[in-house]
Amino acid sequence: MISLHQIEQLLRAESYDRLIERVLANGRSVAGRLAARLHEPDARAPAACGLALQRCCELSYGPTAIAGDLASRLLAQQDDDGSFGGSVAAAAVALRGLSDYAQQHREIGEAVDEPMAAGISRGMEALRRAQADDCGLGTDAEAWAIVRWQLGDQPAFRPEVRLDSFTEAVDRSLELGPLDSLRRAPCAAA
């Protein structure tokens, strides 16, 4: 099990690939191809920080210094358009981490600071734009599977990013063949 101290050490060393591996090994089973998407150059840093922030929130009962550092890093990694390196997968992981951290603040009666709230809002807008550009599912079913994995259980995100269309398309694809069949029908869910 990865501890807050180990997260801090890996973060300090900027060992993002190792950080992703260690957090995923702690009860976050994800298919190898999907995990590989988090290791892509544009996704690596925000995915590692987002996963680590999620884990910090699980390990603590309230905001911690390391979680605050991770949130700050994520907001600094966010592009002006709200995306995270142009990676839909990284955006989903980062937004889940920021959302969990914001929830910790709300649970102890603290307001979510404006930069974090604005970052979450810009990130959601970036996902909405990516979904519109991708006909609702698009040519990158693996990235949208990560969005579903990270944000699908979050009521606040479901109306923002139409995950129901994606879920229905995945269900249909299971009857038709492997997930790759979704790549051949980019607008099937739109």
Residues 69/22, Cβ–Cβ less than 8 Å = no
Among 78, 89, 84, 79, which Cα is nearest to 33's? 89
Q: Which pTM value belongs to this model?
A: 0.83
Provide mean pLDDT across the span 6-14. 95
Rg (CA), the chain: 16
Is the predicted pLDDT of residue 179 greater than 80, yes or no? Answer: no
Distance CA 58, CA 70 (A): 14
Distance CA 38, CA 89 (A): 7
Among 177, 178, 95, which Cα is nearest to 130's? 95
- The residue ranking higher by pLDDT, 84 or 182, is 84
Mean pLDDT is highest, among 50-54, 171-175, 186-190, for 50-54
Is the predicted pLDDT of residue 62 greater than 60, yes or no? Answer: yes
pLDDT of residue 40: 94
pLDDT of residue 168: 63
Type of residue at 185? A
- The residue ranking higher by pLDDT, 139 or 40, is 40
Which secondary-structure segment (H or E) carries 46?
helix 44-59
Tokens, residue 189:
């869910």
In which region does residue 8 sit, left (phi positive, over 0), alpha (psi from -120 to 50) or beta (all else)? Answer: alpha
Confidence of residue 49 (pLDDT cuts 50, 70, 90): very high
Residues 152/30, Cβ–Cβ less than 8 Å = no
